Structure 1
Amino acid sequence: MRIAVAGGTGAAGRHVVEQVRARGHTPVVLARSAGIDLTRPTPELDRALTDVDAVIDAANVTTMSARASEEFFGAVTSTLLAAGERTGIRHHVALSIVGCDRVDYGYYAGKRLQEKLVRESTLPWTILRATQFHEFTGQALAMTPGPVAMVPTMRSQPVSTAEVAAHIVDLAVGTPLTSVVEYAGPRPEYQPDLARRLLRARGSKRLVLPLRLPGAGGRGMANGGLLPGPDAAHGDETFDQWLARVGASTR
């Protein structure tokens, strides 16, 4: 099969491309670095999707703004779906986030819009909601440089990016489910604890200060709104196993 990966050079997308190749399929990378602007219709995108069987949308934007998130995911999703309809894509698979429908956080507004557009499209579809990747902890620490790291009081179930990538490729080559499914790590964790473990692995003496984010979004994160439901599939790699594997390279 030929499988197009939107955002195929990003943090998640590059793992998806690797898994497509590992399973003997042909990846088609859709990214600005590959000459394709996913935010608007272009002849280059239509040419790239010619003879493609499935699209995996792993495109992402770094923002905490609801408006910026909606603008990005709205534009990219609409562009991909319209191009998929023109070129005869047989399966559109979107990567989303567990709990984005329950936690009122700015970035998640864009993921909710993405899901809505996919569900309302004419293309056969599947949405995979994943929990936070193991790498999320390092990203959270980087947001507050200095001797004290302020880390959200978040309960989550961190998961291997590579395992999510493998699962989403399995979904893409299968029959469209026309439903939302979840994929999570093996066990729940508390984000400040993960931050402390990561800092120890780095040999850092930074202090971790748990920070309750304001509003409904903060309450949702603290109270388990980002944890998977009982029907979720689960990866095997724990955060500590990931940390032992990657070590200090997580900076």
Structure 2
Amino acid sequence: MRIAVVGATGRIGRLTSQALEKAGHEVVPISRSHGVDVLSDDLRPVLKGVETVVDVTNCTARQPTETVRFFTTATNRLLEAERDVGATHHVLLSIACLYRVIGNAHYAGKRAQEVAVETGGVPYTIVPATQFHDFGAMVASWTEVDGVSTIAPLLLQPIAPEDVADILARIAVGPPQGRYRDVAGPETQDLVDMARRTYAAMGKSIKLVPTWDGVFGLDMSGNALLPGPDAEIAPTTFDEWLARLGEAEAR
């Protein structure tokens, strides 16, 4: 099966491509590193013969207008090209609990992206995933100054990136399912503790200052980011992921 992965050089894009190739499928990588810009290039030549498009693109903009513009423009251009070449399945990686959080700029963009997919005329599957296991360290790195970082005490049920990629690869070769159920890891975790333990596994120390004064507001507190009761639970625990990280750092 010929499958395009959009955002192929990112972490999830690379892992999804590997999972698909391991299963014997032909992967068409799409990214600026591969010479294709979804915001400006003609996408029809690269999508010719593609049956399924897996979109795992990301946007680092911090203003809602910017994230909405990026995700809607990129998604609409992809869908237009997919219609033209006859692609029959658009798979979007999205975020679990997206509609419980109003003030976050990234979530605003992802909501707009979902609407574009739902109204885009290509059969689709939207896969809402919880945050990844490395989310704690990533968030701490945003504000770290001289070994001190502010971080929100979010309650999460994080998932391993490899598990997300395996789920996307499985869904990509099947029929469109509309909105898929949430996908999550097997255990709840505190973001502050995740960051501390991840830094320790990397052999680094950091002072973490819990606060809601940042990019994550109180609308993300409590159970707001926990998956639905029918969520698909991936197998890899945070401890297992940490152990692999520690082994990799020790090499």
TM-score normalised according to structure 1 size: 0.93
Aligned to 2:149: 149
Query: Does the CA-based 8 Å contact 1:153-1:221 persist in structure 2?
Result: no
Alignment of 1:206 with 2:206, yes or no, is: yes
Equivalent AA in structure 2 for residue 227 of structure 1: L
Alignment of 1:21-100 (within 5 A): 21-42=21-42, 45-100=43-98
Give the number of equivalent residue pairs: 247
Structure 1 residue 211: Cα displacement? 1.3
Structure 1 residue 47: Cα displacement? 1.0
**Cα distance between partner residues in 2 of 1:108 and 1:60:** 11
TM-superposition CA deviations, 1:117-136 (whole Å, max 9, x none) = 10112111010011111121
Aligned to 1:14: 14
Structure 1 SS opposite 2:100? coil
Equivalent AA in structure 2 for residue 6 of structure 1: V
CA RMSD of aligned residues (A): 1.6
Q: 60-69 or 23-32: which moved more?
A: 60-69
**Cα distance between partner residues in 2 of 1:159 and 1:7:** 19
**Cα distance between partner residues in 1 of 2:201 and 2:122:** 45
**Cα distance between partner residues in 2 of 1:136 and 1:65:** 20
Q: Structure 2 stretches of 5 or more lacking a match?
A: none
Percent identity over paired residues: 38
Query: Does the CA-based 8 Å contact 1:40-1:75 persist in structure 2?
Result: no
Aligned to 2:233: 234
Aligned to 2:122: 123
Structure 1 residue 11: Cα displacement? 1.7
**Cα distance between partner residues in 1 of 2:41 and 2:201:** 45
Query: Does the CA-based 8 Å contact 1:90-1:124 persist in structure 2?
Result: yes
Alignment of 1:197 with 2:197, yes or no, is: yes
TM-superposition CA deviations, 1:187-236 (whole Å, max 9, x none) = 11110111121222233332111111469x61222222211001110111
Q: 198-207 or 225-234: which moved more?
A: 198-207
Structure-2 change in CA distance of 1:70 and 1:243 (3 Å)? same
Structure 1 SS opposite 2:178? coil
Equivalent AA in structure 2 for residue 175 of structure 1: P
Equivalent AA in structure 2 for residue 92 of structure 1: H
Query: Does the CA-based 8 Å contact 1:92-1:123 persist in structure 2?
Result: yes
TM-superposition CA deviations, 1:85-137 (whole Å, max 9, x none) = 00000100100011121112111111000000101121110100111111212
Query: Does the CA-based 8 Å contact 2:137-2:194 persist in structure 1?
Result: no
**Cα distance between partner residues in 2 of 1:58 and 1:241:** 24
